[in-house]
Amino acid sequence: MTAELGLAALWLAAALALLQIAAATLGLRREGALGEQLRGAVRPVAVAQGLLTAIAFAALLAVFSGSDMSVALVAENSHTAKPWLYKVAGAWGNHEGSMLLWVTILGLAGGAVALLERRLHERTLVATLGAQAVIALGFYAFLLFSSNPFARLSPAPPDGLGLNPLLQDPGLAFHPPTLYIGYVGISVAFSFAVGALVTRDVGPAFARAMRLWVLGAWIFLTLGITAGSYWAYYELGWGGWWFWDPVENASLMPWLAATALLHSVTVVATRDGLRAWTIMLAVVAFSMSMLGTFLVRSGILTSVHAFAVDPERGTFILALLALYIGGALALFGARVGTVRAGATFEPLSREGGLVANNLLLSVILGIVLIGTLYPLLAAAMGTQLSVGPPFFNATAGPIALGLVALMGVGPLLRWRRDDKDALVSRTLPALGTTLLGMAGFFALGGVTRPLPLLGLGLALGLAVASIAPLWRRNLRRTPLFTYGMVVAHLGIAVSLFGMAADSVFTEEKLVAAQVGQPVLVGPFSVTLQGIRPEIGDNWSALEGVLRVQRGEGTPFLLRPQQRFFAAPPTTTNETAIRTEADGQLYTVLGRQGADGRWQLRLWWKPWVTCIWLGGALVALGGALSLLGRLRRERQVRVDPHPTERWT
C-alpha cells in the first residue's frame, strides 16, 4: 500500500496546486471580504501541498529501501544485493525518482515561502505563490501522466536490474539533491519576479525577500557543481575535473545566471537600481534551469549524467519550458514599462562594476549555451559534430579571466560614484601582486603559455584584492555578509589557482608495467607489487597493489581496481588517489596485455585540490552572507531605521 499512498499524495498535491492557482487568481481580482478570504486561503494550501509532496517522496524512499520489486521503478533501478545506501540514494538515481525529488523540494519551498515570508505586500506574496503553483502543476502533470514513479509491475521479479554502477557512489547521495535545491531556489526567485510584475511591486522590499532565495539557491548550486566535479574526477578515471559535457554545462549555465542575478538583486535591495535587469535575469536563470531539465531528461543527449528517456517525455518538458518561459517573457514585455528605472549611478561606481560583471557573465553564459546547443541543432539537420574543451577554453577562458580581473576591482569601488585616482591607489597592491606573480611563475616556474600564466597571476592578485575590503576596518563591527563576500571572492581566487596550476604543472605517465618495475611520475616512485582479487557487496574486482614513495619519505600503498558488476553487467575503473599538501597522485589500473604487463595511468597533479577547496570557500562565503542577511533582517525588525553601515 506504500506505493498507492505515494501516488494518492501526488494526486492530492496536484489538486491543491490547481486550487492554489484559482484562489490566487480570483483573490487578486476581487476586493472586499471574498477577495480577502481567497487570498488568505493561499498560504495554508501551499503548506498542505508541500506536506503532501513530502509524503509522496517518503513513500518512494520506503519502496526503494524495502526493495519492493512490484514497483516498476524499483525493479528497473535497484537490486536486493545492493548496499542499503545505494538503495536509498537510488530512489533519485533515475528519471522518475529524480523528478519526484525535484517536485518535493519545489512543494516544500512553496510551503516555506507561505510560512516564513513576511516582508512582501500581501498581494505580491499571493501572486508569488500562485506563480509557484503554476510551475508545480506542470511538473505534477508530467509525473502523473508521463513519468509515474509508483507504477506497478506484475509479476514482480525476484531481484531487479540494479543501478548504474557509475552511480553507486556516496556522491549520488549528495550531488543531485544539492543541485535540485539550487534549481528550486531559482524557481522561487522566478516566482517572486512574476509576482512583483503582476502586482507592479518591483522595488527594494521585493528584492530583499528575493535575495535570500537567490543566495540560498546559489550556495547549493555551488556545492552541487563542486561535488559533481570531484565525483566525476575520481569516478570516471580520465584524470580531468571538467569535460564541458553538455550535462555538466546544464548545471553551469543556471549558476552563471544566478551569479549575475545575485549581484543585480543586491543593487535593487540596497541601492534601488537595476530593477528591470533583475527581473530579466530571474527569467533567464529559471530558463537555464528548465533547459537543463530538458537536456538531461529528453533523451537527446548521450551522457553518463543523463537519463535517456523516450521522446514523448522530452516533448512534454519542452512544452513546459515554452509555456513557462514564453509566458514570463510575455509578462515581462507587457509590464516592463511599469518598472521604474530606480536610482541612477555613474559608470565608475560599485553599481557600474556590477553591471560590467553581469555583462561578462552573460557573455560567458551565451558562449556555453551556444556551444552546448549547436551540436544538437546540427544533428537535427543531419550533420554530426562535437564542440569540446578546445572551443570553450579558447572562447570562454579569456572572458573569464577578464571577469576575474573585474572581480578584484569591483569590491574596491564606491557606491554611486568614485574617483579614478583614488581607485587606482586602492588597486595598486592587487595589480602589483598580479604582475609579480606572473613574473615569478615565468622566471622560476617555466610557465610560458599566456592564459595559464595570466590565470596564476590573477589568482594571486584577486586573493589580495579579496581581503582589501577588510583593511582599516573594525573587524568586530564588520557585517557578516561583508566577510561572506571576502571569503567567496577568495574562494574564486583559490579555484582559479588550482585550475591554472593543473593545466601547466600536471605530469602524466601511461605505462605497461611489470610486477616490481618502478615508474617515476612527478616526485613519486610507483611500483606495481601485484594484482589480487577482491569481492564487494555486489561486485568483484582485480586490485592493483602499488607501492609509492616520495623521495626519502615513508612508503605507502595505493589500490586502484577494475570492478565487475553483474547487475547490470558493467566494468568500471576505480581510481586510487593520494592527496598531499601540494597536490594529488592519481592512479588508474588498466588491462593486462598479451605480454603479461599491466597498463597503468599515473598523474601527478600539483595544487589540483585548490579547485574544490575554492568551491567550498565560495559556498562558505555564500553561507556567511546568508546568515549576515538574516541577522540584518532581525536588526531591521528591532530598529526600523538601520544605519548606513548595515547596507
**CATH number of the domain that residue 275 is part of:** 1.20.120
Q: Are 228 and 358 found together in one domain?
A: yes
Q: Are 324 and 183 found together in one domain?
A: yes
Q: Are 149 and 293 found together in one domain?
A: no
Q: Who wins on pLDDT, 127 or 641?
A: 127
Q: How many Cα neighbours within 13 Å face the side chain of 381?
A: 7
Q: Which residues contact 542 (CB under 8 A, 6 or more apart)?
A: 531, 532, 533, 534, 561, 562, 589
> What confidence category does residue 175 fall into, taking pLDDT thresholds of 50, 70 and 90?
confident
Q: Are 230 and 326 found together in one domain?
A: yes
> What confidence category does residue 368 fall into, taking pLDDT thresholds of 50, 70 and 90?
very high
**Segment holding 577, helix H or strand E:** strand 576-580
Q: Is 220 among the domain residues?
A: yes
Q: Are 361 and 229 found together in one domain?
A: yes
Mean pLDDT in residue range 492-509? 97
Structure confidence at residue 300 (pLDDT): 63
Q: Are 301 and 206 found together in one domain?
A: yes
**Which of 115, 130, 163 corresponds to the end of one domain?**
163
**Distance (Å, whole) CA 622 – CA 618:** 6
DSSP state of 162: -
Q: Which three cell numbers stand for residue 64?
A: 526503494
Q: Is 511 among the domain residues?
A: yes
Q: How far is CA 304 from CA 375, 488, 498, in A?
A: 18, 30, 25
Q: Is 470 among the domain residues?
A: no
Place of cell 549528495: 174
**Distance (Å, whole) CA 515 – CA 538:** 28
> CA end-to-end span of the chain, whole Å?
54
Structure confidence at residue 615 (pLDDT): 97
Q: Is 200 among the domain residues?
A: yes
**Distance (Å, whole) CA 186 – CA 292:** 13
Q: Are 146 and 175 found together in one domain?
A: no
Q: Who wins on pLDDT, 548 or 158?
A: 548
Q: Is 326 among the domain residues?
A: yes
Q: Are 219 and 356 found together in one domain?
A: yes
Q: Is 405 among the domain residues?
A: no
Q: Which three cell numbers stand for residue 617?
A: 570557500
Mean pLDDT in residue range 171-197? 91
**Segment holding 235, helix H or strand E:** helix 204-236
Q: Are 158 and 179 found together in one domain?
A: no
| Spatial contact of 335 and 364, defined as CB atoms under 8 Å apart | no
Q: Are 138 and 215 found together in one domain?
A: no
**Is residue 527 exposed (0-12), middle (13-18) or buried (19+ Cβ within 10 Å)?**
middle
Structure confidence at residue 416 (pLDDT): 84
pLDDT digits (tens, 9 = 90+) for 585-599: 999 999 999 998 999
**Distance (Å, whole) CA 8 – CA 74:** 18
Q: What pairs with residue 19 in β-bridges?
A: none
3-state secondary structure of 156: coil
Q: How far is CA 43 from CA 15, 30, 114, 193, 209, in A?
A: 15, 17, 5, 18, 16
Mean pLDDT in residue range 426-437? 95
Structure confidence at residue 647 (pLDDT): 35
Structure confidence at residue 333 (pLDDT): 87
| Spatial contact of 528 and 544, defined as CB atoms under 8 Å apart | yes
- The dihedral built from the CA positions of residue 280, 285, 291 and 293, taken in this order, carries a sign that is negative
pLDDT digits (tens, 9 = 90+) for 282-303: 999 999 998 887 777 765 655 5
Q: Are 200 and 298 found together in one domain?
A: yes
| Spatial contact of 490 and 466, defined as CB atoms under 8 Å apart | yes
**Distance (Å, whole) CA 3 – CA 67:** 12
Q: What pairs with residue 550 in β-bridges?
A: 524
Structure confidence at residue 279 (pLDDT): 93
DSSP state letters, 369-388: HHHHHHHHHHHHTT------
Structure confidence at residue 378 (pLDDT): 83
How many domains is the chain partitioned into structurally? 3
Q: Which of 54-63, 158-167, 361-370, 623-632 has the lowest mean pLDDT?
A: 158-167
Helical pair 171-199 and 311-335, crossing angle rounded to 10 deg: 30
**Segment holding 590, helix H or strand E:** strand 583-592
| Spatial contact of 42 and 27, defined as CB atoms under 8 Å apart | yes
> What confidence category does residue 645 fall into, taking pLDDT thresholds of 50, 70 and 90?
very low
**Distance (Å, whole) CA 181 – CA 36:** 32
Mean pLDDT in residue range 461-473? 92
> What confidence category does residue 187 fall into, taking pLDDT thresholds of 50, 70 and 90?
very high
Place of cell 560614484: 417
DSSP state of 538: S
Q: Which three cell numbers stand for residue 233?
A: 574526477
- The dihedral built from the CA positions of residue 97, 100, 105 and 111, taken in this order, carries a sign that is negative
> What confidence category does residue 304 fall into, taking pLDDT thresholds of 50, 70 and 90?
very low
Does pLDDT of 643 surpass 50? Answer: no
pTM to 2 decimals? Answer: 0.93
CA dihedral 379, 385, 388, 393 (to 10 degrees): -100
Per the prediction, the chain carries an average pLDDT of 90
Q: Is 75 among the domain residues?
A: yes
**Distance (Å, whole) CA 129 – CA 48:** 13
Structure confidence at residue 637 (pLDDT): 58
**Which of 163, 192, 211 corresponds to the end of one domain?**
163
Q: Within 10 Å of residue 482's Cβ, how many Cβ atoms?
A: 18
**Which of 110, 129, 163 corresponds to the end of one domain?**
163
Q: Are 303 and 361 found together in one domain?
A: yes
Q: Which three cell numbers stand for residue 4?
A: 498507492
Does pLDDT of 512 surpass 90? Answer: yes
3-state secondary structure of 236: helix
Q: Within 10 Å of residue 530's Cβ, how many Cβ atoms?
A: 12
Structure confidence at residue 325 (pLDDT): 87
Mean pLDDT in residue range 85-100? 88
In this prediction, what percent of the chain has a pLDDT beyond 90?
64
Structure confidence at residue 641 (pLDDT): 45
**Segment holding 572, helix H or strand E:** strand 569-574
**Distance (Å, whole) CA 91 – CA 314:** 21
Largest CA distance in the chain: 88
Q: Is 519 among the domain residues?
A: yes
Does pLDDT of 646 surpass 50? Answer: no
Show the domain range for 39: 1-163
pLDDT digits (tens, 9 = 90+) for 13-55: 999 999 999 999 999 999 889 999 999 999 999 999 999 999 9
